[in-house]
Amino acid sequence: MSRTAPVADWVSIPDLYRDPFPIYDRLRAEGGVHWVPSVGRYLITSYEAVHTTEFEQETFSANEEGSLQIRAMGHSMLRRDDPEHYPERKAWQPVLRPGVVKRVWTDVFERNAARYLDEMVAKGPGADVIWDFAAPYAAENLREILGFHNVHQEDLQRWSQTLIYATGNYADDPEVWAKGQRSFDEVDIALDEMLRWHADHPDHSLISTLLRIPDYEMPIEKIRANIKMTIGGGLNEPRDALGVAAWALLTHPEQRRAVEADPGLWPTVFDEAIRWIAPIGLYSRQVTRETELAGVALPAGAKLGICILSANRDETVWDEADRFDIRREVKPHLAFSKGVHVCLGAWVAKAEVATVGLPRLFERLRGVDLHPERPAVIGGWVFRGMLELPVTWDTSASLPLPPEAVAPRPTLRVAIVGAGPSGCFSAQAIRRAFPSAEIDVFDRMPVPYGLVRYGVAGDHQGTKSVARQFDRLFADGGVRFHGGVDFGPNGDVDLAGFRAAFDAVVLATGVHDDVPLEVDGADLPGVVGAGRITRALNGHPAEASDVPILGERVVVVGQGNVALDVVRLLSRTAADLDGSDIDDAVHARLAGRVRTLHVIGRSAPGNAKFDPVMLRELAGLDGVAHVVHGARIDAVEPGKDARVDAVRGLTDTEDARVRVHWWFGSRPTRIAGEDRVTAIVLTAIGFRGDARSLAEAGAHPDGRIEPGLYVAGWLRRGPRGTIPDQRTDSRTLARLLADDLSSGALRIGSPGIGALGDLSGAIDFGGWRRIDARETLAAPPGRVRAKLTSLDELFATAGDPSIVLPDVEAERIPGAADGGIALTILFGTESGNAELVAEDLARHLADRAHVEVRDLADLDPTEIDAGRSHLVVCSTYGDGELPTTVRETYRALVSDRPDLSRLRYGVLGLGDRSYTKTYSRGSELLDEALTACGAQRVGEYGRHDAGGPGEATEVAREWADGVVAEMLTRDAVVRRG
C-alpha cells in the first residue's frame, strides 16, 4: 500500500548549493521520495526511483508546465516527450555522432587544448584550471561545433552561465532572470546572422547541418530553443567534468599514478568522475497521472526534481559510493541520463574530456599539483562543479634523458595457470597492456582452451570460434602454451613454484564439479551432472569410457544456459548437427531414445537465467514441441521482457518427435527410485570448486588475492558469467597488475620459466596445432573435427613430426580472387554508436574482405545481396526497442519475408545491461526476422554493454574475428562434404 510523501521541510537551497550530499544521504535513507517545500517539488533521490522515471515518459513527462528551462531557454527537445521529441533529436544527431566526433571534432579539440594550455602556461603557476583552461577550451569547442563564427568564446561562456543559472532559479531571483533574458536575446541576434551566413557557406557545424536536413524544415522557434539548450549543457557539462576529474586525480595521488602509467584509464577516470559528481545534478519531470514511486503516492501534475547527484551516490548500488575510485566495479551511472533523453552530447564530452582535455592537461603541466595557499572550491546542486581550482607546476620542464642514459627496464614475467577462455583472455589483455612481457600459460590437459573445447555445446561453433583469436595470441610468439603440466601439491609444479619463478601469477583453473542436487534420492544411479554430459559430447578423455544411456524420459533440473544446451542437444538428430564437432557415437548413446524432456526451474520466466536467444533457438527446432507450465506470461506486456517473449514463442504440436515440458516456479523435492531413478535426471544447477582449484571460487571478487597473485574467470566470479564476461574481466585484471606495478606493491625481477625445472614433456603450441590438424582432417562429412578422446592419443599426436601445419595467419575466407570475401556491414543506430563500430570494423577487416558499410535505415530487404556475407551491428533503445530509423526495415522483413536462404550473417547487439529485461532486444528482433526469412546466423551472438568497462569497438573487433573464422570453417566443411 502506498504512503503519503514525507515532507523534508528542513532542506534549504543554500545548504543544497554548499554540499547536497549529506542531505541526499538522509533523503535516500528515508525512502528516496520527499516533498521539499523550499524547492516546490518532490525530490527523487534513490537510484531505483530515478531509474524508473527515466524509462516511463508516459507517466513521468519531460514537458513540465511552468518549466524553468522553458522560461529560460525556450521549449527545447529536453522538455518534450516522444513523438514530438524525436524529430528534433534526429536533426541534432548527425553533427554529434561518434564517427563525426572522431573524424572532425577531435582535431578541433586537440588544437584548442594546445591553444588554451599555452595561455595557461604563460600565466604561470597560480593559474586556475577551470577559468584559465577548462572553460575557454569547452567554450571554443562548442562555438566551432555550433558554427557561431560571429562571436567569441567568452560570449558563449556568458550565455551558458546566465542561461544555466536561470534554468536552476528555484529561488526566483529577479536579477538571475534579467541576466538570462539578456543572453536569450543576444543568442537570437547572433543566430539570425549566422543562419543567413551558413546558407551560403555550408560547413560541418550544427547550424549549417540544420539548414540541410532532408525532408524536414525545423521551425525557427525550435532551432532557437534547442541552440540555447545546447549552449547551456554543451559548455558547462564538459567544463565541470574536466574540472572535477582533475581535482579528483590531484586529491588521489595513487590513482593519478595508475592513470599516468596506463593512459587507457582516462575514459575510466571520466566515467568515475561524472558518477562521483554529476555535472547536471537535477532536472525536472511532471507526473501525468496518479501513480506510485518507491512506495509513495504521487498525484497527477506533481512536479519532480530528479536528483542525479544523489542517484549516482546510492549505497545500494555502489560500495562506498562517496569515494572517487577508478578501480570500482563498473555499473551504469545516470550522469548522461537514460531512455529517450539520453545525452546527445555524450560522445563529444567523452572526446573533449577523456580523449584530449585531461591527458593534455597532465602531460603539459609537469608535476601539476593543488595550490598550497589557495584551496579548491566546489559548489552547486542543480549543476555542480569546481568554482576555483588554482594549481602549481614545475616550470623547469626538464628535457628527457638521452636513450643511453636510461637503464633498460626489466621484463615482466607472468604465469597464467589454466588455458581456458579466462586464462587466454587474461593473457591477451596483459599482452596489450605490457607488450614486452613474457607470458606463459599452463594447463593440465595437453590441449588449450578448456571450456571452449570441452564445455561449450558442440553445435555452437560460433562460441567456440573464439579459439581462433587465441590461436593468433600463441602464434605471435609473445605468449607461450605449456600443456600437460600437472600443478598442485603432487604435480609437476605447485603454487609456490609458480610464485618463485614469476613476477605475477594468475590462477584461471576454473571450477569443474557439478553442484549436487540437495534432495532425497539425488545420490541414486540415474542422476547425472550436466557438466558430465557436455564433456562427453565434447569428447573429453575423462568421460569417454562411461557414457550413460538416457532412455525415453529425461528430467533436467535447472533453466540456465547449460540446461538449455543439454535440452537442445538431446532434442536434435544427427542430421541437425551439421557444422558441429559433436561425437556422434556419444550423441546416439545419450539422445537416441529420448522422447520426453521435463525442464524444471525455480524462477518465473522473467527471472530465469537463460539467454533468450538460446531459448528461441530451441523453439525453432524441427520436430520438437513445447508445453509450458506455470509461466503466467500473459501478465507481462509483449516486448517488455525478452525472456518472457522467448517463452511466449514455445508452442506445442501434435506431430512431434520430442516433446519438452517447461516447469517454471517449480523445484524437485525428492527423486523416487530404489536401485535407480526411473527417468534419468540431469542436474544443471551450477558448478563448484574441487581439489584441482588453487583458490576458493568467488572469495576474491576484485581479482586480487595479493599483489602478484590474482584470480580470473570463475575463480574470481564464482561459477557464473559467460565467455564474453571473461573478456571484460581480463581488462580489469590487466589494470590491477598495472596498479600494483605503479604503486610499487609488485616488483619485477623473477627468473621466469627456467626456474620451474624440467618441463620437457609439456606440449607446446606446435603440439596443439598438430592435434588440431589431425582432428580437423579426420572430420567425417558434416562435422568440423573428430576429437581424439584419449590422453595417450593426444600426447602421441602432439609429438608426431609428420603432421604438416598450415600457416595460422594465412587463413582467409574464399570468395574473391585475392582471398578476401565480399562483406557488408549493416548498422542500426540513433546516437551513432553502431555507426562508429561499423566504420571501425570496416577498417579492421579491410585486409581480408571487400567491405561496404550501409545504414539499416536505407536498406530495402528485397535487395539484400545474399551472395555477400553480412555483419549486423544494432543498438537497442528505450525498453527493448529498435532504433527508430530501423523500424521500417524491420517491418518490411517481417511482412514481405524475402527469401534469404543463401544469406550468412553475424549479429552484434549494443545495449545497456541496466535495462535488465531487454538488454539487447533490438538486435534480437532483427535476428529473429532474418532467421524467419531463411538466413543463417554464423558465429557467436555478440553483445556489448554500454555500462561496462570495455570499448564497443574493441569488443566488436574480437567478435568479428570469431565470426569471420567461423565462416572460413564452415566453408571448409562444405568443401570436404
Tens-place pLDDT, residues 448-465: 999 889 888 888 877 777
- pLDDT for 915 beyond 70: no
Q: CA 101, CA 863: separation in Å to the nearest integer? A: 31
- What's the mean pLDDT in 913-934? 85
Helix 765-777 to helix 791-798 angle (10° resolution) is 110
Band of residue 914 on the pLDDT scale cut at 50, 70, 90: low
Which amino acid would we find at residue 214? P
What pLDDT is stored for residue 10 in this prediction? 97
- pLDDT for 531 beyond 90: no
- What's the mean pLDDT in 861-889? 86
The count of C-alpha atoms lying within 13 angstroms of the C-alpha of 551, restricted to the half-sphere facing its C-beta, is 12
- What's the mean pLDDT in 54-72? 90
- pLDDT for 808 beyond 60: no
Task: Kindly give, in sequence order, each residue whose CB lies less than 8 Å from that of residue 738, ignoring residues fewer than 6 positions away.
Answer: 258, 261, 262, 433, 434
- What's the mean pLDDT in 762-769? 95
Chain Cα centroid distance, residue 383: 28
Q: CA 968, CA 966: separation in Å to the nearest integer? A: 5
What pLDDT is stored for residue 517 in this prediction? 79
Q: Give the number of residues written for the chain.
A: 977
Q: Which three cell numbers stand for residue 67?
A: 518549466
What pLDDT is stored for residue 911 in this prediction? 85
Helix (H) or strand (E) holding 553: strand 553-557
With CA atoms as reference, report the closest residue to 527 among 561, 554, 552, 546. 554
The 10s digit of each residue's pLDDT in 282-307 is 999 999 999 999 999 999 999 999 99
With CA atoms as reference, report the closest residue to 68 among 229, 227, 284, 280. 284
Q: CA 541, CA 784: separation in Å to the nearest integer? A: 19
Q: CA 755, CA 505: separation in Å to the nearest integer? A: 14
CA distances from 809 to 82, 772, 965 (A): 50, 15, 11
Chain Cα centroid distance, residue 479: 26
Band of residue 216 on the pLDDT scale cut at 50, 70, 90: low
Q: CA 470, CA 468: separation in Å to the nearest integer? A: 5
With CA atoms as reference, report the closest residue to 346 among 97, 708, 545. 97
- The partner residues of 385 in beta bridges, in order of sequence, read 379
φ, ψ (nearest 5 deg) of residue 34: -140, 150
Which amino acid would we find at residue 501? A
Instruction: Flag whether the pTM goes above 0.75.
Output: no
Is the distance from CB of 17 to CB of 9 less than 8 angstroms?
no
Q: CA 771, CA 285: separation in Å to the nearest integer? A: 63
- pLDDT for 415 beyond 90: yes
Can you say whether the dihedral through the CA atoms of 393, 398, 402, 404 is positive or negative? negative
Q: CA 928, CA 574: separation in Å to the nearest integer? A: 24
φ, ψ (nearest 5 deg) of residue 720: -155, 165
Q: CA 641, CA 915: separation in Å to the nearest integer? A: 10
Whether the bond between 605 and the residue before it is cis, its omega within 30 degrees of 0, is no
Residue with cell 571487400: 850
What pLDDT is stored for residue 623 in this prediction? 94
For the chain, the C-alpha Rg in angstroms (whole number) is: 30
Q: Quickly list DSSP for 725-751.
A: HHHHHHHHHHHHHHHHHHHTSS-----
Give the β-pairing of 513-514 and 303-307: unpaired
Band of residue 787 on the pLDDT scale cut at 50, 70, 90: very high
Q: Which three cell numbers stand for residue 404?
A: 643511453
- What's the mean pLDDT in 672-699? 70
What pLDDT is stored for residue 967 in this prediction? 75
Angle at 530 between CA 525 and CA 531, to 5 degrees: 115
Q: Which three cell numbers stand for residue 430?
A: 596483459
- The partner residues of 768 in beta bridges, in order of sequence, read none
Percent of the chain with pLDDT over 70: 93
Q: CA 796, CA 643: separation in Å to the nearest integer? A: 47
- pLDDT for 606 beyond 90: no
3-state secondary structure of 163: helix
What pLDDT is stored for residue 879 in this prediction? 64
- pLDDT for 696 beyond 70: yes
Strands, E, within 816-954: which ranges? 821-828, 849-855, 869-875, 904-911, 936-937, 942-945
Band of residue 955 on the pLDDT scale cut at 50, 70, 90: confident
Lowest mean pLDDT among 628-637, 676-685, 859-868, 934-943: 676-685
